[in-house]
């Protein structure tokens, strides 16, 4: 390859790395933009965008996209390892925070639309409805991860930071279980999520075994 060709390749690589984060922002924001438009259309013409039960449609939309983005974030380390492209790790934190944002909106919408912030009703749901208990437990785990996702917390916690952030795996599992319990008919989508998560678990175990039981340290 000629020297100009090498320079062009390097410039393209640098450009791709610079565009990676803005592109992730745009892609991760698109579902929220679509939802905002759907809510606007629904307000103008009821039943035109969100079906017969708009409240349930919004709740499920936020929850489903939260799980998808969460699994996508969990996949980044695997993709980086399989593709040999370390810059992917630069968006891992961003993807995780977007997943937390979607799932927080999912929970807040439930509190507002379905319970009207009636704490007695909320406490009854947490005790009597296992799918809500499981979902709430997953959200608490993700809250701990989001709150300690900064470089400052990583320096403070040191090795404990990595141990804490392994909660992402049980949080994902609980999220899939929560979605499975909520599914009323047709389990194809939840089966895809469960298979996706199982493959990521298997890949992590294989990678840990290949590295002598210890995965390499991966910066955010």
- pLDDT tens readout for residues 69-98: 999 999 998 999 888 888 898 999 999 999
- pLDDT tens readout for residues 179-199: 999 887 778 999 999 999 999
> DSSP readout, 82-112?
HHT-GGGGGGHHHHHHHHHHHHHHHHHHIII
Give the Cα separation of 132 and 46 in Å (integer).
28
pTM: 0.88
Report the largest interatomic distance among the alpha carbons of the chain, rounded to a whole angstrom: 72
Give the Cα separation of 170 and 142 in Å (integer).
10
pLDDT confidence of residue 95 = 96
Neighbours of 175 (CB within 10 A): 26
- Pair 58, 107: CB distance under 8 Å: no
Task: Say if residue 211's pLDDT is above 80.
Answer: no
């Amino acid at each position: 390859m000629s020297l100009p060709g090498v320079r062009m390749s390097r410039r393209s690589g640098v450009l791709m790395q610079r565009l990676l984060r803005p592109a992730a922002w745009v892609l991760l924001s698109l579902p929220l933009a679509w939802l905002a438009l759907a809510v606007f259309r629904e307000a103008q013409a009821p039943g035109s965008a969100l079906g017969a039960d708009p409240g349930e449609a919004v709740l499920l939309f936020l929850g489903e996209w939260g799980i998808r983005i969460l699994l996508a974030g969990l996949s980044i380390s695997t993709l980086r390892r399989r593709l040999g492209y370390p810059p992917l790790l630069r968006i891992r934190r961003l993807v995780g925070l977007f997943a937390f944002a979607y799932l927080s909106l999912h929970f807040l919408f439930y509190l507002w639309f379905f319970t009207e912030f009636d704490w007695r009703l909320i406490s009854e749901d947490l005790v009597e409805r296992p799918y809500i208990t499981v979902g709430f437990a997953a959200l608490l785990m993700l809250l701990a991860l989001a709150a300690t996702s900064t470089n400052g917390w990583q320096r403070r916690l040191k090795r404990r930071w990595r141990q804490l952030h392994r909660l992402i795996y049980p949080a994902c599992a609980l999220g899939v279980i929560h979605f499975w319990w909520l599914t009323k008919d047709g389990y194809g989508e939840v089966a895809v999520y469960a298979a996706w998560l199982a493959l990521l678990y298997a890949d992590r175990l294989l990678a840990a075994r290949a590295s002598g039981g210890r995965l390499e340290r991966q910066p955010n």
